[in-house]
Amino acid sequence: MRILVDMDGVLADFEGAFLDRWRAAYPEHPFVPLHKRRTYHPEEEYAPELAQSVRQIYCTATFFRDLAPIPGGLEAVQDMVRSGMEVFLCTSPLRDYQHCVVEKYDWVVRHLGIEWSKRLVLTKDKTIIAGDVLIDDRPSLHGIATPAWEHVLYDQPYNRHVTSKRRLTWKNWREVLGTGL
């Protein structure tokens, strides 16, 4: 069984860091806490005139490097490997790639070690990556191919409108993936 695991919103707490930095940078502006988020892209939750400021938060150097791990995620992927599953970390860089690409490698090395950098796959189109399952918080994933994988949603407030897909968290991944571990 080959499992592809997304990073932001699944292993790395993108939303938490965004909110912390947003509130620190713009205390005068409104903010949308995670449990009230209804769209995948943070900028869609804010007024159009704030979109550029929102993007600036996560395009800044150190943003991706310093993301906190989502509790249970690092242990889960390590447990998967220990139990013989093939695991790849499958992540899409921002169009403003200048900081995020190297910082995604830094993050993996820092939290999982240099050997795990071999499991990192950077691709805008995840449909061409061959796997059995893709664990991703994005409501829907599109690309050039019909993917081999089943998209299992990593449960987040902003993807709860999707009812057609199985979903999991790092608390119940064993049951959902049905590995009987």
Tell me which residues are annotated as active site. 6, 8
Nearest to 23 by CA among 57, 65, 66: 57
CA 81 from centroid of its chain's CA atoms: 19
Q: What is the distance between the alpha carbons of residues 118 and 103, in angstroms, rounded to a whole number?
A: 15
Total number of residues shown for the chain:
181
Q: Which residues in the 137-166 window bind a copy of itself by CB under 8 A?
A: 144-145, 148
Should residue 1 be labelled a site residue for a copy of itself when binding is judged by CB under 8 A?
no
Should residue 119 be labelled a site residue for a copy of itself when binding is judged by CB under 8 A?
yes
Binding segment for a copy of itself (CB under 8 A), chosen from 13-21, 23-31, 118-126, 170-178, is 118-126
Should residue 61 be labelled a site residue for a copy of itself when binding is judged by CB under 8 A?
no
Should residue 125 be labelled a site residue for a copy of itself when binding is judged by CB under 8 A?
yes
Question: Of 62 and 172, which CB lies nearer to a copy of itself in the complex structure?
Answer: 62
Question: Of 74 and 148, which CB lies nearer to a copy of itself in the complex structure?
Answer: 148
Should residue 24 be labelled a site residue for a copy of itself when binding is judged by CB under 8 A?
no
Q: What is the distance between the alpha carbons of residues 108 and 125, in angstroms, rounded to a whole number?
A: 20
Q: Which of 67, 131, 137, 159 binds a copy of itself (CB under 8 A)?
A: 131
Phi, psi of 97 (to 5 degrees): -85, -5
CB 73 within 8 A of CB 137: no
Q: Which of 1, 2, 66, 139 binds a copy of itself (CB under 8 A)?
A: 2
Q: Which helix (H) or strand (E) holds 54?
A: helix 51-59
Nearest to 19 by CA among 47, 42, 38: 42
Question: How many chain residues are in contact with a copy of itself, going by CB under 8 A?
Answer: 27
Q: Which of 50, 69, 105, 169 binds a copy of itself (CB under 8 A)?
A: 105
Q: What is the distance between the alpha carbons of residues 76 and 102, in angstroms, rounded to a whole number?
A: 24
Q: Which of 1, 51, 122, 176 binds a copy of itself (CB under 8 A)?
A: 122
For the purposes of burial, counting CB atoms within 10 Å of the CB of 106, is it exposed (0-12), middle (13-18) or buried (19 or more)? middle
Write out the residues near a copy of itself by the rule CB under 8 A: 2, 86, 88, 93, 95, 97-98, 101-102, 105, 114, 117-125, 128-131, 144-145, 148
